[in-house]
Homo-oligomer: A and B are copies of this chain.
Amino acid sequence: MKNNEIRNKLIEKGLKVTPQRMAILEAIIKLNNHPTAENIIDYIRKNHPNISTATVYKVLDALAEKGLIKKVKTEKDVMRYDAFLEKHHHLYASDSDRIEDYLDDELNEILEKHFEKKCIPGFKIEDLKLQIIGKFTDKNAPK
């Protein structure tokens, strides 16, 4: 992803362009396995040694707020971030911190159809997230 594409994403969303924001958004895109704030900070500090953790958290919130990234909850007390914006679910390793994207349009359709038919009284659905928990049998590090 070129610098200018990242810059434009920020501008499109009305976010002031700063080196910190550029670096953070670029980092999440590069570190493509749902990095933590710490992962992002480590990566960025190579080229940008003085960035503050507070800034990173503030920028991450701003990017998530504007829909440029998504937050991914985990079993542990650590937030993870996702630059992949299409509707998708996640595979969670039960024996490690690995999280992988799971795309399945057929599943989305099935779910949508199911809840069209079977409304939930007193509840208006806005989003469905399927957490698929299990074990990765290929021991490859996440790409």
A interface with B by C-beta (< 8 Å): 73-75, 77, 91, 94, 100, 102, 104, 106-107, 110-111, 114, 118, 120-138, 140
Chain multiplicity (copies): 2
A131 contact set on B, CB distance < 8 A = 128-131
Contact yes or no, A120 B106, CB < 8 A: no
Q: Are A122 and B110 closer than 8 Å at their CB atoms?
A: no
B-chain residues with CB within 8 Å of residue A114 when the two chains form the complex: 106-107, 110
Question: From residue A109, how far is it (CB to closest CB) to chain B in Å?
Answer: 10
Q: Which residues of B contact A75 (CB under 8 A)?
A: 73
Q: How far is the CB of A126 from chain B (nearest CB, A)?
A: 4
A86 to chain B, nearest CB (A): 17
Task: Collect the chain B residues with CB atoms within 8 Å of residue A91's CB.
Answer: 120, 123
- Taking a contact as CB atoms under 8 Å apart, the answer to whether A134 and B125 are in contact is yes
- Measured CA separation A128–B94 after assembly (Å): 12
